[in-house]
Structure 1
């Protein structure tokens, strides 16, 4: 009798596969891939943008602080080092340009994979200069790699351009 009741009760429970499918569908409704890609683009852009705007005093005019950082403060932590950055004025200028340009491209979703690659390279350089910051740098690298692998998503100019050209 007890066995028959258990069998009857268990027949009303959907199979585990159906529950997993429902859970997966719920998660995809809450966080569709395009929203996740947009969030990744913005999350990666923000810290670089914030750092970049501090490096400029005007249009193409670096702040004295930016050059001083690359001249006196930032060091490359390589074997046998640390070493000063080569051409600190050029490095400060390139860093400032990258920290402004790549985040704008990311937020717009224009050249997303290229912009993410640029920020991945910058992250590697930052890691060499500030090796104790690796817990944060690894998250930047992971976001950049995800964007390089999957692109900007449907909420991006890349997608609109491809759709306009008939290549979605």
Structure 2
């Protein structure tokens, strides 16, 4: 074996070990993303229910949600910000929760008449994390990994020949 092929073989082994270490971090990274984004939206929902009159005023004057009456938009937005993050953090219906929060995120950006560049960057970051969760799922450390296999097994009909 030549020196260059030996060097290449060592580089490949090193890369394999690094890849394995990064693969082992995937569940923790997915959980961290779920907790981070879930907290952002949940705290926003808590702020809205603390002073419902102010929330209604914001939806009437500041947030211009298209096609929906103000009170309904406020209720739906607040409900989404309180229920979906809990599902997301638990990883129960994680893809559904991520897609639902993506809608809340996009509507928030579109409904604001003016948005600061820094605030827009936050929404883009949250959207990217939510897209990753929607595409790849909530990860191994999620409640649906515990619940869905049992439900799928119970729902499977026996095959008869």
TM-score relative to the length of structure 2: 0.79
How far off is 1:25 after superposition?
Answer: 2.6
Distance 1:67 1:108 in 2: 29
How far off is 1:12 after superposition?
Answer: 8.1
Counterpart pick for 1:164 among 129, 133, 150: 150
Distance 1:122 1:166 in 2: 30
Structure 1: where are the runs of 5+ without partners? 1-6, 77-83
Structure with the bigger percentage of helix: 2
Structure with the bigger percentage of strand: 1
Deviation string, structure 1 residues 47-79 (Cα, Å, up to 9, x no partner): 11011001114xxxx710110100112236xxx
Counterpart pick for 2:46 among 53, 66, 72: 53
Higher Rg: 1
Contact 2:42 / 2:85 at 8 angstroms: preserved in 1?
yes
Tell me the number of residue pairs that the alignment of Structure 1 and Structure 2 aligns: 148
CA RMSD, aligned part only?
2.5
Structure 2: where are the runs of 5+ without partners? 154-161
The answer to whether the aligner puts 1:43 opposite 2:32 as a matched pair is no
Distance 2:138 2:110 in 1: 28
Distance 1:24 1:41, change over 3 A: same
Distance 1:41 1:12, change over 3 A: closer
The aligned counterpart of 2:136 is 150
TM-score relative to the length of structure 1: 0.76
Contact 1:127 / 1:137 at 8 angstroms: preserved in 2?
yes
Contact 1:110 / 1:156 at 8 angstroms: preserved in 2?
yes
